[in-house]
C-alpha cells in the first residue's frame, strides 16, 4: 500500500515522511532525492541543465537506486552529495522536462512495487500514485519554509543567507507550480496540512490517525466482501 506526501520545499515533507514510515512500518521513498541524484549526474558530466537532448540522454542511461537513505548513481554512493543549493537548483530545472519526469515516474513505481511505502515528493498523489490509500499535501508560510531550509543548510556547513534561501525558494516554487508535467498542486482527495507553527509530533499524530483510519476502512471492506 502507498501513502503519498506532496508539498513545496521546506514544508516538512522529508522529516515527516521518514518518521511516519518508521512508525507505521512502511518503507520511505524520497522521490526528490531521485531528481537531485540525476541533477548531480548531469552536473558531473559537464552538461548544462538547458541542454535538453543531453539531459534526457543522461537520464536514460543513468542507473538510479534509492533504498531508504542510500542513494546511488551507477553504483556510486552519493547520499551526502545531493543536498547542495547547486544540485537543488539544477534538479528543479531538469524536473521541468517531460521526458525526464516520465522516466522518474517509471522508476518510482518500480521501487514502490516492492512493498508498502510512504512516498514523498511533489506529484506523488496526482501523477505517480493516484490510487494511493492516503494522500497528504503539506505546506507552510514562505518565511517559515525558508527558515527551515536555511537551518538545514547551515547544519551542513553551507554559508548562505536567509535572503538567498528565500529567493531560491520563490524561483523553485514558481517552476514547480507552473510546469506542464506533474505540476505542484494538491490531489483532489489530498488532506491539506499547514505545518506553520506545528510541531513534528502534532503533524505526525494527525497523519497517523488518518492513515490508520484509511487502512481500517479497507480492511473492513475486505471483510464484508469475503
Q: Rounded CA gap, 28 and 21, in Å? A: 6
Give the closest residue to 121 by CA, choosing from 182, 193, 69. 182
Residue 225: inside a domain, yes or no? no
Residue 44: inside a domain, yes or no? yes
Q: Rounded CA gap, 62 and 38, in Å? A: 8
pLDDT at residue 226, as a whole number: 65
On whether the CB atoms of residues 120 and 29 are closer than 8 A, the answer is: yes
**DSSP category for residue 226:** -
Strand, coil or helix: 30: strand
Considering only the C-alpha atoms of the chain, give the largest distance between any 2 of them, rounded to a whole number of Å.
60
CATH number at residue 42: 3.40.50.300
Per the structure, the count of domains in the chain is 1
Q: Which domain holds residue 196?
A: 2-213
pLDDT digits (tens, 9 = 90+) for 64-121: 888 878 899 999 999 988 888 889 889 888 988 999 999 999 999 999 998 999 999 9
Residue 201: inside a domain, yes or no? yes
Q: How many CB atoms lie within 10 A of CB 142?
A: 15
Residue 181: inside a domain, yes or no? yes
**DSSP category for residue 137:** E
Strand, coil or helix: 60: helix
Q: What is the pLDDT along the chain (226 residues), one digit of tens a residue?
A: 999 999 998 898 989 999 999 999 999 999 988 999 999 999 999 999 999 999 999 999 999 888 878 899 999 999 988 888 889 889 888 988 999 999 999 999 999 998 999 999 999 999 999 999 999 999 999 999 999 888 888 887 888 899 999 998 898 888 888 887 788 899 999 999 999 999 999 999 999 999 999 888 887 777 777 6
Cell of 131: 490510487
Amino acid at each position: 500500500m502507498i501513502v503519498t506526501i506532496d508539498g513545496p520545499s521546506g514544508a516538512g515533507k522529508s522529516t515527516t515522511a521518514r518518521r511516519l514510515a518508521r512508525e507505521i512500518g512502511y518503507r520511505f521513498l524520497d522521490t526528490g532525492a531521485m531528481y537531485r541524484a540525476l541533477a548531480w549526474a548531469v552536473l558531473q558530466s559537464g552538461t548544462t541543465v538547458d541542454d535538453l537532448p543531453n539531459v534526457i540522454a543522461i537520464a536514460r542511461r543513468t542507473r538510479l537506486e534509492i533504498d531508504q537513505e542510500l542513494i546511488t548513481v551507477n553504483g556510486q554512493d552519493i547520499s551526502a552529495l545531493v543536498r547542495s543549493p547547486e544540485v537543488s537548483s539544477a534538479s528543479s530545472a531538469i524536473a521541468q522536462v517531460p521526458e525526464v519526469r516520465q522516466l522518474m515516474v517509471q522508476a518510482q513505481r518500480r521501487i514502490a512495487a516492492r512493498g508498502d511505502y510512504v512516498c514523498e515528493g511533489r506529484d506523488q498523489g496526482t501523477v505517480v500514485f493516484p490510487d494511493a490509500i492516503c494522500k497528504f499535501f503539506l505546506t507552510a508560510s514562505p518565511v517559515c519554509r525558508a527558515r527551515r531550509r536555511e537551518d538545514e543548510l547551515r547544519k551542513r556547513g553551507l554559508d548562505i543567507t536567509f535572503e538567498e534561501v528565500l529567493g531560491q525558494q520563490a524561483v523553485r516554487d514558481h517552476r514547480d507550480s507552473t510546469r506542464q508535467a506533474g505540476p505542484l498542486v494538491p490531489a483532489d482527495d489530498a488532506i491539506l496540512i499547514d505545518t506553520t507553527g506545528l510541531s513534528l509530533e502534532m503533524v505526525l499524530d494527525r497523519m497517523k490517525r488518518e492513515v490508520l483510519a484509511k487502512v481500517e476502512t479497507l480492511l473492513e471492506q475486505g471483510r464484508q466482501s469475503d
